Amino acid sequence: MPAVNYRALRPLRTLALVGALVVPAGLTACSYNENLGRQQVLLVDPSALSQQGAQAWAQMKQTSKVSNDAAANARLRRIGGQIVGASGLGGQAWEYAVFEDSSVNAFVLPGGKVGVTTGMMAFAANDDELAAVLGHEVAHVMANHAAERYSQSALAQVGAGLVGAATQNAEGGVVQALGRYAAPALQVAVLMPHSRQHELEADRIGLDLMVRAGFSARRGVELWRRMAARGGASTPAILSTHPSDAARVQQLDAYIATRGYS
């Protein structure tokens, strides 16, 4: 996958300061997301992240090679446009790019920037499979996942800081260890599971989008099924920000059956 400067996308010091002011006061910026059917805690306006997304996108296009394959780029824009049209987000400008990279990957940045690797373009056997990928990425935008992740990171940093401050002068190995390992524990127990939740939410919304756009959900899921069939070493699910391919396929199959998708 093209190298992304995620530091440019994570104004965590600012968010941590906001979180430090919000949490002690007992205030939360809760909003209901109809696409998710749940409440979200957002300490930053999703639209405020567009500038960071644009900066990272420009950097990526300078540091990573953009494919000049006219057919691949036209295919990406065509299917991406259909998915965006189904999402109701066509009012904002979307930009797509195929990056020359053999890894099978795709990503979305705040502000409607969608990147797909040549490896993914080749791996997607048909338009339905590519629509499943793009539906997933557009779903992240509909779900405000970037803003939610930033907010979770800020709150986790605040929590780790408070634990560290409370334990730095404490005696006893157990208490000191709690302070020392607070941040990594929060990373595993809070941030990563939420990220996996985001991925599965994007999968489900993405299926809805591709069906609305006229693609086959069942054919699209074959992409994840073939990924699972590749096997090989993988990161343990508890330490991964993405669900395993097998878990993803299982949940998508169940969702397709529930919705009656073809």
222 is catalytic: no
Mapped to the 3 state alphabet, what secondary structure does 98-151 carry?
A: EECCCCCCEEEECCCEEEEEHHHHHHCCCHHHHHHHHHHHHHHHHCCHHHHHHH
Given the residues 34, 100, 137, 199, the one annotated as active site: 137
Residues with a catalytic annotation lie at 137
